[in-house]
Structure 1
Amino acid sequence: MTQKIKDTIVKGVVYLATGITLCVLLFIIGFIFIKGIGLINWNFISRDYNDTTFYAFVQESNSPTTLDEKVQENKSDYDKKYETPLEAPVYVESIGAEITKVLYKNYTTEKEQFIISYISKGSPLLSAVNSNGTSIDVSTDFVLESVNGNEFTGMSTEEVKTLINDQSGELKIKMVEPGGGIRSNIITTLYMILLSLVVALPIGIFGAIYLTEYAKPGKIVNAIRFAAECLAGIPSIIFGLFGMAFFVVALNFQISLLSGSLTVAIILLPVIIRSTEEALKTVPIAFREGSLALGATKLQTIFKIILPCAVPGIATAVLLSIGRVIGESAALLLTAGTVAQIPGTLFSPGSTLTVQAYYVTKEEGNIEMACAIGIVIIVIVIILNILSRIASDKLNVFNKE
């Protein structure tokens, strides 16, 4: 077999491997987008996962409507979320809105509900307030449950219309804002990224500085590097067990944002140390010698010369860390919890996007929502990567004139 034939075979294998990798990647991304893109809308981003029940105070008025006006208005997309309406929609003049009785189904419950399917331009619902006098943004697909303490359970649409129209003065309407969103998960994920990096970045960078600039080559340094490499390969569930035993139980931080972020910070340390160490090694030795020759101290040389030159490598460590935080689930299940809420304090539980995707898949079998969350995760990673690259370019001393 000639060398030319061998080269052709090797080249074919390389192209084949590249093609398979690309096809697998495109298949995964395509599957996620095809399954989840239908759920992506503003409500999905801006609403919490759980329903929110509240009382809206509305001043009763007479808001007639016409068919032409209703046709011109944007109707709710309730037909995508509910089964076929159980009764014909009716327009309630005293609140200037159309209500529809529907059968709501999800993976665990099935019940009849009265939803707002249309709100006229002059509807008093548009100026509704809560008990504190704060304005409420009432929109279509909100669920109506009672008015002035009168429950709608077991009533027909016409009976609900009559009941509401018979009321006068200020109406106290019990409403439910539908959930199914991931706002709290997005905020929790961003909190987790911020807190874990605040803890891990300084420790990791200073550790890399010690290994590169101060430590003398020997068994101790080799042992530290070996330990860091071993930690990078340990499954995250092991870190989760440690975090649960140490942060949650021993330190009594409970299952919380703090426990989760500290656990993830430990996971990030090997990545940050190794990436930063390699970045520091790329700084030419002449830079160090020139700085010291001009009378700068070791510490001044590190912080004024070496670290600024190593910014691109450190930015790479940050990017890898962000991806690791967003993609982490096993450790956070044991330390941060699965509660879909915005953590009020560091000691409150919360669910990140990845954990929420796991939860809705395992507990509800909702593959579509998990894929929609996957799309949001991809977008967030891309945005954060772009911002990190921009910051890296701004701080990179080699790009400065």
Structure 2
Amino acid sequence: MENKKWNNRKIKDGALQGLIYLSTVLTVAILAVIIGFILYKGIPGINLNFVTRMWDDKTTFVNIETKEAPGNNSNGAYVGSLGITLAQDGEKIIISHIDSDSPVKTATNMKKEAYPLKEKDVILKAGSAAIDKMTPQEAAAAIKDGTGTIRIKVLRPGGGIVPMLVSTIYIILLSLVIAAPIGISSAIYLNEYAKRGRILSLIRFAIQNLAGIPSIIYGLFGMLVFVQLLKMQYSILAGALTLSIMLLPTIISTTEEALKEIPKAYRESSFGLGATKLQTIAKIILPGALPGILVAIILSIGRIVGESAALIWTAGTVAQIPGGLVGGKAAAATLTTKMYWLIKESGDLATASSIAVVLLVLIIALNVASKMITRVFLKKKGTN
């Protein structure tokens, strides 16, 4: 009888262990397939231009003070008065090389602002000559050598993620500046000052429920309150305020758990030495809970980076570097919102996957930073 029970228990344990292994393999396989698909589609589109250029093409008229051209040059695509070499790129004429003393480096636009030309810029027109479909030699001949001022129409190719990357960084910084002090202060109050009772339980219950609300609802709230009622329009400030509200439950809960880990004896010892409650919190409790607080902040950064629904309704989807905190020029698309619109509007899966690769790298970097920071502070705590 005992042997039968033992055999049944062994069978159950083996089945349970097999189920655990199967679940682990299935989870890893799904994760590998997702990441592998994103890398397969996205890596071919990642290059230097992708991470350094603006998103949209930009056409600009520039004025250039030409220099004295050399007498002879064997390179028929070289423009001596501008110190540039032209090349063919499909049907376009691009600048393939710029001399160190080239006057195009001091070019100005129509507002008399500095607009230095760069390699890979496309030359569409020089003076009255349209050269966009010429050969490099014909284009060089059309740009007359000599001295004086020449006006050139230049196309600077886009296709880069710089505006979305900058907007993402702005949103991260603004959201944390708003949410972190409020969330940490609230956690300190709930754990150190608030009296135990129904009101405190109700507050914690509300915080837990706030963490489970879909982000699209936060987005609608942000659009109604910040964008329309407070007239911030689509802007990074409206987006940051909306995300700050979303982050509060995470920061409060994680920080409060970190504060609870500090032994009660530390508080009592501090009070016994004559320290006030505020001094105890500032000198004893917060330093001890700092690793947990940093984890809360880094987790919040991860949520900001991955958020799209709330930002579409508050920050907008314009691929530009924000020109302020509020107003039309402050509307901006983050990496995730741009990826969403690429799939929705144009079905550009390749570019969206390239942006996803950048997001994966960013999230992995944040996780590594979280572990490193936590390890450093725990080591310092152990030595002290």
Which of the five TM-score ranges fits, normalised by the shorter chain?
Answer: 0.7 to 0.9
Gaps of 5+ in 2: 1-6
CA-CA distance at 1:58 after TM superposition: 5.7
- Corresponding position of 2:362: 380
Letter in 1 for 2:97: I
Q: How does 1:25-64 map to 2 (within 5 A)?
A: 25-54=31-60, 55=62, 57=64, 59=66, 61-62=69-70, 64=73
- Corresponding position of 1:308: 287
Letter in 2 for 1:52: K
**Are 2:115 and 1:115 aligned?**
no
CA distance in structure 1 between the partners assigned to 2:222 and 2:345 by the alignment: 24
- Corresponding position of 1:87: none
Instruction: Say which SS state the counterpart of residue 340 (structure 1) adopts.
Output: coil
CA distance in structure 1 between the partners assigned to 2:97 and 2:306 by the alignment: 41
Q: How does 1:340-359 map to 2 (within 5 A)?
A: 340-347=319-326, 348-359=330-341
- Corresponding position of 1:16: 22
2:123 alignment partner, one of 144, 152, 161: 144
- Alpha-carbon displacement from aligned partner over 1:318-360 (angstroms, at most 9, x marks no partner): 1210110000000000000001111121111111110111122
Change (3 A) 1:133 1:238: closer
User: What's the TM-score once normalised by structure 2's chain length?
Assistant: 0.87
CA-CA distance at 1:152 after TM superposition: 3.8
Q: Identity, % of aligned pairs? A: 44
Instruction: Say which SS state the counterpart of residue 93 (structure 2) adopts.
Output: strand
Q: How does 1:182-197 map to 2 (within 5 A)?
A: 182-197=161-176
CA distance in structure 2 between the partners assigned to 1:342 and 1:383 by the alignment: 23
- Corresponding position of 1:97: 85
CA-CA distance at 1:133 after TM superposition: 7.2
Contact 1:97/1:123 (<8 A) preserved: no
What's the C-alpha RMSD, in Å, of the aligned pairs?
2.5
CA distance in structure 1 between the partners assigned to 2:73 and 2:104 by the alignment: 15
CA distance in structure 1 between the partners assigned to 2:113 and 2:338 by the alignment: 33
CA-CA distance at 1:393 after TM superposition: 4.7
- Alpha-carbon displacement from aligned partner over 1:179-206 (angstroms, at most 9, x marks no partner): 1101111111011111111111111111
Q: How does 1:1-400 map to 2 (within 5 A)?
A: 2-54=8-60, 55=62, 57=64, 59=66, 61-62=69-70, 64=73, 91-94=77-80, 95=82, 96-100=84-88, 102=90, 113-116=91-94, 118-119=96-97, 124=102, 127-131=105-109, 132=112, 134=114, 136-140=116-120, 142-152=121-131, 160-165=139-144, 169-347=148-326, 348-396=330-378, 398-400=381-383
Which has the larger displacement, 175-184 or 385-394?
Answer: 385-394
Contact 2:56/2:157 (<8 A) preserved: yes
Which has the larger displacement, 389-398 or 207-216?
Answer: 389-398
CA distance in structure 1 between the partners assigned to 2:200 and 2:14 by the alignment: 45
Contact 2:307/2:336 (<8 A) preserved: yes
Which has the larger displacement, 261-270 or 131-140?
Answer: 131-140
Instruction: Say which SS state the counterpart of residue 310 (structure 1) adopts.
Output: helix
Number of aligned residue pairs: give it: 367
